[in-house]
Amino acid sequence: MYILFYEIVLPFENLSVLSLNKHKHKHKNMNYYNNYRKEMTFQPYNRETLLGLIDQIEITRVDNQVITKWKGVVTSIENVSRIYEVFDIKKYINDKIELIEKNFEIKEFYFSVTKGVQQLKLISDSVTINGVEFHKAFFILNSSDRSRKLNFNSGLYSKSDHYYMVSTTQNLGLCKKHYRGVTQAAEEASKEIDVETFDEQIESIQKLVGHKVAFSKLRDIFMENVDKKTPKINHKKFDNLKISMLHSLRRTNDLTADVAYMLRRTSEFMKEVPQEKDFYLDAFTLFQVNMKLYAKLDSHLVKNETERILGITQWAVRNDMLAELLLE
């Protein structure tokens, strides 16, 4: 007997699970990820089982309405415009599974249907970086209720801590609204998936191991608009990362009073980091802590945050070089 695990994706606002608010996916409060972390339940991969589940999705258009059914039950009815294009998610998943299986052994899968949203995550081979086990993974997300964009990305997933990273990959990567041309765009975005798909992502993380980054440089990455006012969302993201790092350092007994003071300061009131107050953070730990904050975002949004935090590689300082600087 196979059980389908449904994932209810809560909005950032104080809305109920059954809320039909069309803006529920416009994430406004990043503290949500500290308060709500639901573990995904993966199943051992069986092609026939997975395709049997996917085959029970029905998406049809009747005049200006898109009707979504799951196992014969209507889960969503959405009014759409004339430029809306119904995407054949069943065929797409079938095609991508066949393509992925040519180069990767799929070991587990997670599939969910929530109203008009269909989500699939495939877990493949593992790779260990600095003692942390990551799994090569593929993420496909489709919505027939206009709430989410069509997504197809690859990344590295940490099953133990339930977070993942997604970065730019050649010949793979899709984020598209369901307008005319979405089907063609989806096919062109993922024509090739081979053994080199994850090489660049693995190398990017490996570059962080054994390095440290100055707190002042980390702040510069988030305050990206030097000549303009930094968006409030950037301040919120930076504040969340600082508080998470504070807890991480406290757990490892690496927290000093001066570091705690800087990490607790509100970003909007931190105009600069004084040289005498600057300090260094472990780059690999910083990367992990940051990505855990975005564990429930769609893959294209995780991709944005991955590429932002990987910007620390250009400021990373080797431990031996740092030691020499501190002795001067």
Give the pLDDT confidence of 152-164 residue by residue, as tens digits: 888 899 988 888 8
pLDDT band at 27 (very low <50, low <70, confident <90, very high): very low
Instruction: Tell me the DSSP string of 3-32.
Output: -PPP-----SSS--TT---TTTTS---TTH
Q: What is the extent of the structural domain holding 91?
A: 38-196
- Phi then psi for residue 122, to 5 deg, are -115, 130
- 178 with 248, same domain? no
In a domain, 3, yes or no: no
- 172 with 83, same domain? yes
- 183 with 214, same domain? no
- 115 with 185, same domain? yes
Q: What is the pTM of this model?
A: 0.77
In a domain, 166, yes or no: yes
- 217 with 315, same domain? yes
In a domain, 302, yes or no: yes
DSSP state of 269: G
In a domain, 18, yes or no: no
pLDDT band at 254 (very low <50, low <70, confident <90, very high): confident
Instruction: Tell me the DSSP string of 179-190.
Output: BTTHHHHHHHTT
- 188 with 54, same domain? yes
Domain boundary among 142, 172, 196: 196
What are the C-alpha distances in Å from 22 to residues 15, 78, 147, 150?
11, 11, 7, 16
Average pLDDT over the chain reads 81
In a domain, 127, yes or no: yes
- 164 with 222, same domain? no
Which is higher by pLDDT, 201 or 121? 121
In a domain, 23, yes or no: no
Give the pLDDT confidence of 259-316 residue by residue, as tens digits: 999 999 999 988 889 999 999 999 999 999 999 999 888 787 888 888 888 888 777 7
- 268 with 213, same domain? yes
- At 61 the pLDDT is 93
Domain boundary among 196, 218, 241: 196
- At 304 the pLDDT is 84
- At 227 the pLDDT is 53
- At 228 the pLDDT is 67
Domain boundary among 150, 175, 196: 196
In a domain, 17, yes or no: no
- Phi then psi for residue 182, to 5 deg, are -65, -35
- 76 with 219, same domain? no
Number of domains in the chain: 2
Give the pLDDT confidence of 287-300 residue by residue, as tens digits: 999 999 998 887 87
Instruction: Tell me the DSSP string of 235-258.
Output: HHHHHHHHHHHHHHHHHTT---HH
